[in-house]
């Protein structure tokens, strides 16, 4: 049975970050995600998580300048040293926060050289941090044009080629719908590689309830596959976070 984690970058934003942990616990979540925690002291985040008995399930590698900035560097030829510097910085945070999964972002790139760069960097990262679960996530071309990892089939090909036990797929159902259309069929093709799941409604990336994605069917497929990891709620609430949590109470 999967467990649900609140993405605190998106949810409970009416509260200061350190108060969002307790709010997520009260709402019924067992864990949290934070996209980019680098502007906050790791020791303070760890204290807030421990005080609310919450697991920090996932965080992203830098860049720290997310608003209009780069979307990672793992697949960008010529940025290998930047990637390694960012990875080591992220690793320090992940270890201090006891984060379960570290999402390695590909960046904007294309072509065979980008693929080779991506594979080399992922192999280096997997060897650099053998005890850390690393994930990669396809992004759709509408929300993130030019992002190298733009297909779940490509993601599984990359994972198979890197061939590292600590590298897996971050399965965002919203992204799967935007890229491939059929979330459940995409799940069946790639479930063997999945380490972490994220959910959001479509269109609009709001609450995962009424919309184009059959989440009842998706959750049945996830349960049938024996997935026992985390499901991250990464969406923008239509109003307040609390007002839109009916889906969690019925999941």
- Look-up: residue for tokens 């061939």? 163
Residue 144's domain comprises 3-250
Residue 251's pLDDT is what? 74
Average pLDDT, rounded, for the chain: 94
Residue 62's pLDDT is what? 78
User: Which position has the higher pLDDT, 179 or 251?
Assistant: 179
- Please indicate whether residue 207 is annotated as part of the active site: no
- pLDDT of 69 over the 90 cut: no
Residue 249's pLDDT is what? 84
Q: What is the CA angle 248-249-251, rounded to 5?
A: 60
- Which pLDDT tens digit goes with each residue over 13-50? 999 999 999 999 999 999 999 999 998 999 999 999 99
Task: Report the CATH number at residue 64.
Answer: 3.20.20.150
Residue 17 — φ and ψ, nearest 5°? -55, -45
Of the residues 33, 76, 137, 207, which is catalytic? 137
Global pTM value: 0.96
Of the residues 33, 76, 207, 234, which is catalytic? 234
State mean pLDDT over 187-214: 95
The token pair at 37 is: 């925690």
CA 101, CA 166: separation in Å to the nearest integer? 10
- pLDDT of 99 over the 70 cut: yes
- pLDDT of 67 over the 70 cut: no
Structural domain tally of the chain? 1
- pLDDT of 109 over the 70 cut: yes
In DSSP notation, 53-99 reads T-EEEEEEPPPS--TTS--B-TT-TT-HHHHHHHHHHHHHHHHHHT-
Confidence of residue 209 (pLDDT cuts 50, 70, 90): confident
The token pair at 75 is: 């697949």
């Amino acid at each position: 049975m999967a467990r649900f984690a609140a993405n605190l970058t998106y949810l409970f934003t009416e509260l200061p970050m350190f108060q969002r942990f307790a709010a997520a616990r009260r709402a019924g979540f067992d864990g949290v995600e934070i996209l980019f925690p680098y502007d906050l002291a790791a020791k303070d985040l760890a204290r807030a998580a421990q005080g609310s008995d919450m697991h920090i399930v996932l965080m992203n590698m830098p860049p720290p300048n997310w608003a209009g900035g780069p979307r990672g560097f793992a697949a960008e030829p010529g940025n290998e040293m930047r990637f390694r510097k960012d990875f080591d910085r992220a690793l320090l945070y992940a270890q201090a926060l006891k984060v379960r999964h570290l999402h390695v972002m590909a960046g904007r790139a294309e072509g065979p050289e980008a693929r080779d760069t991506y594979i080399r960097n992922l192999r280096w990262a997997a060897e650099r941090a053998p005890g850390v679960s690393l994930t990669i996530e396809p992004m759709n071309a509408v929300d993130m044009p030019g992002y190298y990892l733009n297909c779940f089939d490509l993601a599984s090909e990359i994972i198979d080629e890197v061939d590292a036990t600590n590298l897996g797929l971050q399965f965002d159902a919203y992204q799967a719908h935007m890229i491939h259309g059929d979330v459940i069929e995409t799940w069946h093709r790639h479930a063997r590689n999945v380490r972490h799941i994220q959910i959001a409604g479509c269109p609009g990336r709001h609450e995962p309830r009424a919309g184009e994605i059959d989440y009842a069917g998706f959750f049945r497929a996830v349960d049938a596959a024996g997935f026992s990891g985390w499901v991250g709620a990464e969406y923008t609430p239509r109003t307040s976070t609390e007002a839109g949590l009916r889906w969690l109470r019925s999941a």
